[in-house]
Protein backbone atom coordinates (compact mmCIF):
# COMPACT_ATOMS: atom_id res chain seq x y z
CA UNK A 1 0.00 0.00 0.00
CA UNK A 2 1.32 3.43 -0.95
CA UNK A 3 1.11 6.22 1.62
CA UNK A 4 -1.04 9.19 0.49
CA UNK A 5 1.63 11.76 1.38
CA UNK A 6 2.09 14.05 -1.58
CA UNK A 7 -0.77 12.45 -3.54
CA UNK A 8 -4.20 13.81 -4.32
CA UNK A 9 -6.72 11.83 -2.28
CA UNK A 10 -10.35 11.61 -3.39
CA UNK A 11 -12.55 12.63 -0.48
CA UNK A 12 -15.80 10.73 -0.25
CA UNK A 13 -17.62 13.12 2.09
CA UNK A 14 -17.33 16.34 0.03
CA UNK A 15 -20.55 16.04 -2.01
CA UNK A 16 -22.61 15.35 1.12
CA UNK A 17 -21.08 18.30 3.00
CA UNK A 18 -21.17 20.76 0.10
CA UNK A 19 -24.81 20.04 -0.70
CA UNK A 20 -26.00 20.57 2.88
CA UNK A 21 -26.62 16.90 3.63
CA UNK A 22 -23.72 16.56 6.06
CA UNK A 23 -24.44 15.56 9.62
CA UNK A 24 -22.47 17.09 12.46
CA UNK A 25 -22.36 16.33 16.18
CA UNK A 26 -24.39 19.48 16.86
CA UNK A 27 -27.15 18.08 14.61
CA UNK A 28 -27.66 15.04 16.85
CA UNK A 29 -30.70 15.38 19.12
CA UNK A 30 -31.17 12.77 21.82
CA UNK A 31 -33.70 12.71 24.61
CA UNK A 32 -32.22 13.72 27.97
CA UNK A 33 -29.11 15.09 26.26
CA UNK A 34 -27.09 17.43 28.48
CA UNK A 35 -24.58 20.03 27.36
CA UNK A 36 -21.44 21.08 29.19
CA UNK A 37 -19.53 24.32 29.51
CA UNK A 38 -15.98 24.62 30.74
CA UNK A 39 -14.96 27.42 33.10
CA UNK A 40 -11.56 28.59 31.92
CA UNK A 41 -9.09 30.77 33.73
CA UNK A 42 -8.74 34.31 32.40
CA UNK A 43 -5.12 34.27 33.62
CA UNK A 44 -2.05 33.02 31.80
CA UNK A 45 -0.70 31.44 34.99
CA UNK A 46 -2.71 30.99 38.18
CA UNK A 47 -3.68 28.46 40.82
CA UNK A 48 -7.30 27.84 41.72
CA UNK A 49 -7.88 28.89 45.32
CA UNK A 50 -11.62 28.26 45.59
CA UNK A 51 -14.61 27.29 43.45
CA UNK A 52 -18.11 28.40 44.49
CA UNK A 53 -20.78 26.92 42.24
CA UNK A 54 -23.82 27.67 44.42
CA UNK A 55 -25.23 30.39 42.13
CA UNK A 56 -24.97 28.10 39.10
CA UNK A 57 -26.62 25.09 40.75
CA UNK A 58 -29.91 26.93 41.28
CA UNK A 59 -30.28 28.20 37.70
CA UNK A 60 -33.16 26.70 35.70
CA UNK A 61 -32.09 23.82 33.47
CA UNK A 62 -28.82 23.18 35.28
CA UNK A 63 -28.53 19.46 35.95
CA UNK A 64 -25.14 19.47 37.67
CA UNK A 65 -22.05 21.54 38.31
CA UNK A 66 -18.98 19.36 38.50
CA UNK A 67 -15.55 20.28 39.78
CA UNK A 68 -12.41 18.21 40.05
CA UNK A 69 -13.55 17.20 43.55
CA UNK A 70 -16.47 15.39 41.87
CA UNK A 71 -14.24 13.77 39.25
CA UNK A 72 -11.10 12.52 41.02
CA UNK A 73 -10.32 10.20 38.11
CA UNK A 74 -9.73 13.34 36.00
CA UNK A 75 -7.32 14.90 38.49
CA UNK A 76 -4.19 13.75 36.66
CA UNK A 77 -2.11 16.53 35.21
CA UNK A 78 -2.66 17.46 31.59
CA UNK A 79 0.35 16.09 29.70
CA UNK A 80 2.68 18.61 28.07
CA UNK A 81 2.32 19.25 24.36
CA UNK A 82 6.02 18.61 23.89
CA UNK A 83 7.56 15.65 25.66
CA UNK A 84 10.82 17.00 26.99
CA UNK A 85 12.61 16.87 30.35
CA UNK A 86 13.15 20.65 30.02
CA UNK A 87 9.41 21.39 30.27
CA UNK A 88 7.57 21.06 33.56
CA UNK A 89 4.20 19.34 33.54
CA UNK A 90 1.03 21.39 33.77
CA UNK A 91 -0.47 20.35 37.10
CA UNK A 92 -3.70 22.40 37.23
CA UNK A 93 -6.65 20.11 36.50
CA UNK A 94 -9.58 21.32 34.42
CA UNK A 95 -12.96 22.25 35.89
CA UNK A 96 -16.00 20.72 34.25
CA UNK A 97 -18.88 23.15 33.93
CA UNK A 98 -22.67 23.09 33.83
CA UNK A 99 -25.22 22.67 31.04
CA UNK A 100 -25.10 26.05 29.30
CA UNK A 101 -22.60 28.86 28.91
CA UNK A 102 -24.47 31.44 31.01
CA UNK A 103 -24.58 28.96 33.88
CA UNK A 104 -20.80 28.64 33.66
CA UNK A 105 -20.59 32.41 34.17
CA UNK A 106 -22.32 31.92 37.53
CA UNK A 107 -19.47 29.74 38.81
CA UNK A 108 -17.23 31.92 40.95
CA UNK A 109 -13.57 30.94 40.88
CA UNK A 110 -10.91 32.65 42.99
CA UNK A 111 -7.41 32.51 41.56
CA UNK A 112 -3.95 33.15 42.94
CA UNK A 113 -2.38 34.85 39.94
CA UNK A 114 1.23 33.83 39.34
CA UNK A 115 3.91 35.39 37.11
CA UNK A 116 3.45 34.34 33.50
CA UNK A 117 6.21 33.43 31.08
CA UNK A 118 5.68 35.48 27.94
CA UNK A 119 8.56 34.49 25.67
CA UNK A 120 10.30 31.38 24.47
CA UNK A 121 13.57 32.51 26.04
CA UNK A 122 11.96 33.06 29.44
CA UNK A 123 10.37 29.62 29.22
CA UNK A 124 13.68 27.97 28.41
CA UNK A 125 15.44 29.82 31.24
CA UNK A 126 12.73 28.95 33.79
CA UNK A 127 12.66 25.31 32.65
CA UNK A 128 16.35 25.01 33.54
CA UNK A 129 15.78 26.19 37.12
CA UNK A 130 14.56 23.72 39.72
CA UNK A 131 10.82 24.05 40.54
CA UNK A 132 10.13 26.62 43.25
CA UNK A 133 13.37 28.55 42.68
CA UNK A 134 11.83 31.49 40.79
Tens of pLDDT along 23-46? Answer: 887 788 888 877 777 788 888 888
Asked if the structure places residue 31 within a domain, the reply is no
User: Which of these ranges, 5-14, 30-39, 65-74, 83-92, has the smallest mean pLDDT?
Assistant: 83-92
57 versus 75: which is more confidently predicted? 57
Count: domains in the chain: 1
Asked if the structure places residue 9 within a domain, the reply is no
Asked if the structure places residue 16 within a domain, the reply is no
Asked if the structure places residue 83 within a domain, the reply is yes
Asked if the structure places residue 27 within a domain, the reply is no
**H-type alpha helices, the chain:** 14-18, 54-57, 101-104, 120-128
Provide CB contacts within 8 A for 60, sequence distance 6+. Answer: none
Asked if the structure places residue 10 within a domain, the reply is no
133 versus 66: which is more confidently predicted? 66
Q: Please give the residue range of the domain that contains residue 65.
A: 36-128
Asked if the structure places residue 3 within a domain, the reply is no
7 versus 89: which is more confidently predicted? 7
- Mean pLDDT within 64-85: 70
Predicted TM-score of the model (pTM): 0.54
Q: Cα separation of 40 and 92, whole Å? A: 11
In this prediction, residue 2 carries a pLDDT of: 63
Question: What CATH number is associated with residue 84?
Answer: 3.90.1170.50
Amino acid sequence: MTAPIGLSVKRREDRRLLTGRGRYVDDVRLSHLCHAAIVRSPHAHARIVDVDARRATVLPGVVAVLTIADLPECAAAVPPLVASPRFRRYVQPAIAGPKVRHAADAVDVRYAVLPAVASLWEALRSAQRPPGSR
